[in-house]
Amino acid sequence: MATAHVNGITVGYDDEGTGAPLLLVHGHPFDRTMWAPQTSAFAARGYRVIAPDLRGFGDTTGADGATDFSDFARDLAALLDFLGVEKAVVGGLSMGGQIVMDFCRLYPERLLGVVLADTFPGAETPRSRADRLATADRLEREGMGPWAEEALDKMVAPYNVKDLPDVADHVRRMMHGAPVTGAVLAHRARAERPDYRDTLRALAVPALVVTGVDDPYTPVADGELMRDLIPDAELCLVEGAAHMPNLERTGEFDAALRRFLARVTLPPVNGYRHAVRARGEHVVVSGQIALDHAGRVVGEGDADAQARQVFRNLDKALTAQGATFADVVKLNIFVTDMAVMPAVRRARDEWIDTANPPASSAVRVSGFIRPELLVEIDAQAVVAPTGQE
């Protein structure tokens, strides 16, 4: 853990890895450890993952100051300033997602992309506002324990409380351990937050919306609403999860996040090449990356970065045909050097949904592709031929 002194408070945060920045915002009444699986996994995949404790939670001070909901977003912006990060993919779950929406409202120029998990954009109704304020009063009166025990099997699906005891224990510890004053003030500030639907309509960057199918707090309809409001959004519904899909179904959550991050953080490389040609009812789309004869990529990065850029180029070619990786029925990957095959497979897994892979997928060594290319990919996508290049 590191600390930063910003906005008159001390922020405790994790900052791991190098690469495109990913800022993860925890929910109520949790702390940054709710993102521990993603922090380590995505740092290892070449991202800089920043996971702070919010004002009044975990190792961050300021429990007596979160009286305005926008304090949280301002703290995040100040932390990014402290770290020298101009733009980031910003993601949050539950209250963290609403803080992210507030960040979008206040700092749209600092976004590379947005991740909204198990959250909703509307302001409180008179009834829900009264309920939230009553809960804050109860926490102040009774402490965190009684409410935490009642909330556990809503945060974590009842079947996961039984089958995933380590996850349930982690969530229970975070709720019991939350500072009462910080939790109370955050809940009261949250009750007065604005409506973010217009903010989402104006969002100019891609967004990933994730919802646990069995979430009683933010049902699937909330995720569908956000997907429909945001101009460029995809919705991932996580089966077998309630309010904490990143912990209850880490594999599924991480797979969706991997594909999204690859799309928004990897622009097509210099020397971008792709081809589109008709073959019967299929369109064959190729995404390539050019190397010089010394093996240097026309772009940037090592073998992993090169392979990921190949898939980014392929994604652009598919998009030009009105298709996505979900439409791909056959994926052929040709390499000239067997040493890059592990990197290619890792990149493939970032883009391809392993639960619904193409009917055919293979990585082959070939001497027939152009000698200046390290990797060439052909994907047969079921889209109508358009002749676009």
Residue indicated by tokens 């980014």 = 312
For residue 220, give the amino acid letter. V
In terms of Cβ atoms closer than 10 Å to its own Cβ (0-12, 13-18, 19+), residue 6 is buried
Instruction: Read off φ and ψ for residue 46, nearest 5 degrees.
Output: 95, 25
Asked if 353 contacts 253 with a C-beta cutoff of 8 angstroms, the reply is: no
Cross-strand pairs, 114: 90, 207
DSSP state letters, 162-202: HH-HHHHHHHHHHHHHS-HHHHHHHHHHHHT----HHHHHT
In the DSSP assignment, the letter for residue 33 is: G
Q: Compute the distance between CA of residue 160 and CA of residue 163 in angstroms, rounded to an integer.
A: 5
Asked if 111 contacts 205 with a C-beta cutoff of 8 angstroms, the reply is: yes
Closest CA to 159 of 95, 239, 218: 239
Asked if 259 contacts 353 with a C-beta cutoff of 8 angstroms, the reply is: yes
Assigned CATH class of 2-265: alpha beta
pLDDT in 10s for each residue of the chain, 389 residues: 999 999 999 999 999 999 899 999 999 999 999 999 999 999 988 899 999 999 999 999 986 755 799 999 999 999 999 999 999 999 999 999 999 999 999 999 999 999 999 999 999 999 999 999 999 999 999 999 999 999 999 999 999 999 999 999 999 999 999 999 999 999 999 999 999 999 999 999 999 999 999 999 999 999 999 999 999 999 999 999 999 999 999 999 998 998 888 778 765 554 445 556 655 666 666 665 444 434 444 444 566 776 777 777 777 777 777 777 878 888 877 776 777 778 778 878 777 777 778 877 777 777 655 555 556 655 555 554 444 43
- Domain borders along the chain are 2-265, 273-381
Closest CA to 283 of 387, 377, 357, 364: 387
Looking at residue 292, its pLDDT comes to 40
> Which token pair is 369?
């592709």
For residue 89, give the amino acid letter. V
Whether this model's pTM surpasses 0.85: no
CATH number of the structural domain 273-381: 3.30.1330.40
3-state secondary structure of 130: helix
> Which token pair is 109?
């120029």
Looking at residue 296, its pLDDT comes to 45
